[in-house]
Amino acid sequence: MSQVKPSLYTSLSPALLHLHDLNNTVVVIIDVLRATSTIATALYNGARCVIPVDSVARCIELGKNIDSITAGERDGQIAEGLQYGNSPFEYPESFIKGKTLVLTTTNGTKLLHMALERGAGEVITGSFPNLSSVCDYLLASKQNVILGCAAWKDKVNLEDTLFAGAVINRVQEHFSINCDSSKLAATLYDAAKDDLYGFMHEKNASHYQRLTGFGLEKDIRYCLTPDVANVLPFYGDGKLTIHSW
Amino acid sequence: MSQVKPSLYTSLSPALLHLHDLNNTVVVIIDVLRATSTIATALYNGARCVIPVDSVARCIELGKNIDSITAGERDGQIAEGLQYGNSPFEYPESFIKGKTLVLTTTNGTKLLHMALERGAGEVITGSFPNLSSVCDYLLASKQNVILGCAAWKDKVNLEDTLFAGAVINRVQEHFSINCDSSKLAATLYDAAKDDLYGFMHEKNASHYQRLTGFGLEKDIRYCLTPDVANVLPFYGDGKLTIHSW
């Protein structure tokens, strides 16, 4: 008898997450530009942990501890009252090693808290810099999966959908995928995979416009590069730490 | 000075419609399998009008008039208490000419009422059978546009997204499109346009599965065929009638 495969669904926006049952499910939080790329990078570079919080006030409160960095953005820029922003380049090993990063962002950290409130079985974060770790974990854990795109203020975006497609491209043989959003994401990734940056540029994706407007092309290129910070951020006890299995 | 182009946005699910301002905007209701394909077909075949209603009870009530046909489905099958279903093949000229079709469906007619409640400037319906009429009207009217996908119980589907992409493919030069959902739809359509039916089959789209389970391959093929019922259903005074301009 063949084994029943676990299911995989994609939620293209936080406004669609309620359509899915998150119990006993691994939810992958995807905010490619830039929260989840930055989370992977900070942990890869030796941060003790990343504490994702959903408000600037909470970020400042938690940041009062020694060795804590408060960081985050609203609308793509450093939020008032915080020390650092949402760029992976702000967190080299020489700066972040051994420290705690308390992070709040417009979309990614909000979606993470939404998934927790809705009873997600496990929460991990995904981005191109840690693509292989995410795929390896999903294949190893053999649980049902929701790929949760953080989007931009609930509007579907290209980069998070592309990452969902990249994951599906790698793991699809091992999951039952009865979900048109996943098929849409996989088709998008197929069209873009030979040159992700070129695709974002050619399509003039909305977030591409927003970040290049701030002079952040370098961030975009990094955030579209697979496995440059290949660790698995796993949520537990209020923080994200590297998970080995 | 160059003229400012009207805007075009795509809403991939009714659960995302609230992200858009519908005032002074043409909203295209898209429910390819099968409500909007059937609406175009009934009008093309001489129906006096189509009255879209959002409940079976209202459908039965309005159907008490002479020369009215009550029709509709819930979950892909004829709803209890109604006479006919949601297949375009149920409405040949010999049957529907001169009659009023009172129609309720799981997704399409519900989205239409949602758009009206949210103050849409104009409401038209779109499907492959009336693709050219929709595009010609959007180009002629020069108003802002929302392509509203009816989806399936709020879950994004391939066929409505494909139709949005087909419209964008034809009209994009004449609109300002700062919307990743539109770029996603256009990319999907590019990947599928050479063989829409083959694409739906290969991807095993969720609604493709649902309808082929009911033996409705013929409906799917028809509903993916451009311009076989090329009229423009336009909403006004509680009903959809053919609009000429």
State ipTM. Answer: 0.95
Which token pair is B217? 């391959």
- What are A96-151's pLDDT values in tens digits? 999 999 999 889 999 999 999 999 999 999 999 999 999 999 999 999 999 999 99
Question: Is residue A184 within 8 Å of residue A47, measured between CB atoms?
Answer: no
Question: Is residue A13 within 8 Å of residue A73, measured between CB atoms?
Answer: no
CB contact under 8 A, B203 and A188: no
CA distance to B182, B194, B227, per residue, from B189 (Å): 10, 9, 17
pLDDT at B206: 84
Above 70 in pLDDT, residue A1?
no
Closest listed residue to residue A168, CA positions, set A142, A201, A146: A146
- What are B187-209's pLDDT values in tens digits? 999 999 999 999 999 998 888 88
Instruction: Determine the Cα–Cα distance for residues B27 and B42; give it in Å rounded to an integer.
Output: 21
Instruction: Determine the Cα–Cα distance for residues A214 and B202; give it in Å rounded to an integer.
Output: 42
**Mean pLDDT, residues A186-199 taken together:** 97
Closest listed residue to residue B69, CA positions, set B55, B80, B84, B54: B84
A245 found inside a domain:
no
Domain count, chain A: 1
pLDDT at B2: 59
The CA distance from A233 to the nearest CA of chain B, in Å, is: 28
Range of the domain at B101: 8-234
- Which helix (H) or strand (E) segment holds residue A6: the answer is none
CB contact under 8 A, B15 and A16: yes
Above 90 in pLDDT, residue A208?
no
B239 found inside a domain:
no
Which residues of chain A are within 8 Å of residue B209 when distances are taken between CB atoms?
Answer: 178
- What are B112-142's pLDDT values in tens digits? 999 999 999 999 999 999 999 999 999 999 9
Which residues of chain A are within 8 Å of residue B153 when distances are taken between CB atoms?
Answer: 19
Q: Which of A158, A180, A200 to mutate to test the interface with B (most CBs of B within 10 A)?
A: A180
CB contact under 8 A, A156 and B188: no
Which residues of chain B are within 8 Å of residue A190 when distances are taken between CB atoms?
Answer: 191
B243 found inside a domain:
no
The CA distance from B66 to the nearest CA of chain A, in Å, is: 41
Closest residue, chain A, to B152 (C-alpha): A180
HSE toward the beta carbon, residue A87, CA cutoff 13 A: 17
Instruction: Determine the Cα–Cα distance for residues B49 and B151; give it in Å rounded to an integer.
Output: 24
A71 found inside a domain:
yes
The CA distance from A5 to the nearest CA of chain B, in Å, is: 17
B114 found inside a domain:
yes
Task: Please report the residues numbered 50 through 109 in chain B whose beta carbons come closer than 8 angstroms to any beta carbon of chain A.
Answer: none
pLDDT < 50 stretches in chain B: 1
Q: How confident is the model at residue A2 (pLDDT cuts 50, 70, 90)?
A: low
CB contact under 8 A, B16 and A19: no
DSSP string, B43-101: HHTT-SEEEE-S-HHHHHHHTTSTTEEEEEEETTEEPTT-SB-S-GGG--HHHHTT-EE
Amino acid type, A226: P
CB contact under 8 A, A181 and B155: yes
Q: Which of A183, A194, A207, A210 to mutate to test the interface with B (most CBs of B within 10 A)?
A: A183
Instruction: Determine the Cα–Cα distance for residues B33 and B172; give it in Å rounded to an integer.
Output: 24
Q: Are strands A68-74 and A25-30 parallel, antiparallel or unpaired?
A: unpaired
Which residues of chain B are within 8 Å of residue A157 when distances are taken between CB atoms?
Answer: 180
pLDDT at B195: 97
Which residues of chain A are within 8 Å of residue B179 when distances are taken between CB atoms?
Answer: 155, 206
B242 found inside a domain:
no
Which residues of chain B are within 8 Å of residue A179 when distances are taken between CB atoms?
Answer: 155, 206
Q: Does A169 touch chain B (CB under 8 A)?
A: no
A242 found inside a domain:
no
Which token pair is B233? 């259903």
CB contact under 8 A, A181 and B206: no
The CA distance from B213 to the nearest CA of chain A, in Å, is: 15
Q: Does B182 touch chain A (CB under 8 A)?
A: no
B205 found inside a domain:
yes
Q: What is the CATH number of the domain that holds B151?
A: 3.90.1560.10
CB contact under 8 A, B183 and A15: no
Cβ contacts from A onto B, under 8 A: 82
